[in-house]
Amino acid sequence: MAKTMTLTEHAQPLRTLSAAELETYEEQGFVTLEDVFPQADVRAINDEIERLMPEHGDRTANRPGWILQLGLRSELLGGLARDERILSLIEDIVHPGIAVHSAKLVAKVPHSDIVCHWHQDEAFYTKPDDPKTHSQTRMSIWVPLQDANEANGCMWVVPGSHRWGLQDYEIMDHGACIRKLTPEEYADEHAIPVPLPAGSMLLFHGMLWHHSKGNSTDHVRRAFIVSYQEATVLSDNAQWKLIRPAT
Ligand SMILES: O=C(O)CCC(=O)C(=O)O
């Protein structure tokens, strides 16, 4: 019989963003937090991903090892997207109410030169002509499931770029994130890497310019990424899930 995996009970009281962390998020467009999930949870999540991979793992050239619609494929990982440890950290950013926009596993297989091009998540989420897709608070959390560093393809960001609005992009035929920002050279010049230990968290604004490079190591680099938006945005995205109603 398949073993049922569970996550650890979360600590009480739940952690919220400090005033300084919230200020960093507002000014820089991102903030990092260490030790959000204990290593026992990171192991349980990786075990669940191994279980899902044969059936649901992406085998395309651009996104090997990714799993889209992750929250819908696993009770454990759907529950993780609704985990109070995450919600209490984002509730001062995402309001009124909280809804999931999407949840997925993003991966860098060993010895891969597949980049995730410079992009803004909003370029994928907002349809300019459809007000139902316009969110004021949309943001993502990115939780590395292995220590992420420059060698295995950690995230890179351009601090403050969330303030500059939606940028022009071109559609690429290769790479994991195909809506590539056209100010790419500017991004490369002003970017900083965001290395993070497994179980920590990068919280970032839907407009923040970000990307990741290849993985030159012998081991996979995975991350659980969930995008949230205020519950009043009635997206027609099939994955849209209300977590906390707007009160
Ligand atoms: O994990 C990565 O390499 C980047 C993923 C990403 O930026 C995204 O899916 O929007």
In the chain the domains, ranked by start, together with CATH numbers, are: 19-244 (2.60.120.620)
**CA-closest residue to ligand 1 atom 7:** 211
| Protein residue with least CA distance to atom 1, ligand 1 | 106
Helices (H), 150-215: 184-190
Q: Which residue's entry shows tokens 């009124």?
A: 96
For ligand 1, say whether the CB of 103 is within 6 Å of any of its atoms: no
Q: What are the tens digits of pLDDT across the range 174-210?
A: 989 999 999 999 999 999 999 999 999 999 999 999 9
CB atoms within 10 A of CB 163: 12
Ligand 1 site-directed mutation target among 225, 226, 228, most atoms within 8 Å of CB:
225
Q: How far does the centroid of ligand 1 lie from the alpha carbon of residue 177, in Å? A: 7
The candidate with the shortest Cα–Cα distance to 112, out of 211, 216, 212, 195, is 216
211 C-alpha to center of ligand 1: Å? 6
Torsion sign across C-alpha atoms 167, 171, 174, 178: positive
Number of C-beta neighbours around residue 102 at 10 A: 24
Q: In the sheet that 192-194 helps form, which strands lie side by side, from edge to edge?
A: 116-119, 210-212, 155-157, 192-194
Q: Whose CA is nearest to atom 9 of ligand 1?
A: 106
Mutation probe of ligand 1 site: the residue of 162, 210, 220, 228 with most atoms within 8 A of C-beta: 210
Task: Check: CB of residue 114 under 8 Å from CB of residue 220.
Answer: no
Between 57 and 240, where is the model more confident?
57
| 24 CA → ligand 1 middle, Å | 21
Regarding the beta carbon of 121 and ligand 1, being less than 6 Å apart is answered: yes
Tens of pLDDT, residues 45-90: 999 999 999 999 999 999 999 999 898 899 999 999 999 999 999 9
Cα(13) to centroid of ligand 1, in Å?
31
Tens digits of residue pLDDT in 99-131: 998 999 999 999 999 999 999 999 998 888 888
Average pLDDT for 211-234:
95
CA of 12 to the centre of ligand 1 (A): 31
pLDDT in the model for residue 39: 96
This prediction's pTM: 0.95
CB contact at 8 A, 80 and 223: no
Give the closest residue to 50 by CA, choosing from 140, 145, 115.
145
Could you tell me if 31 and 24 are in contact, meaning their C-beta atoms sit under 8 angstroms apart? yes
From ligand 1's centre to the CA of 96, what distance in Å? 26
Supply the pLDDT for residue 236.
62
* pLDDT exceeds cutoff 60 at 165: yes
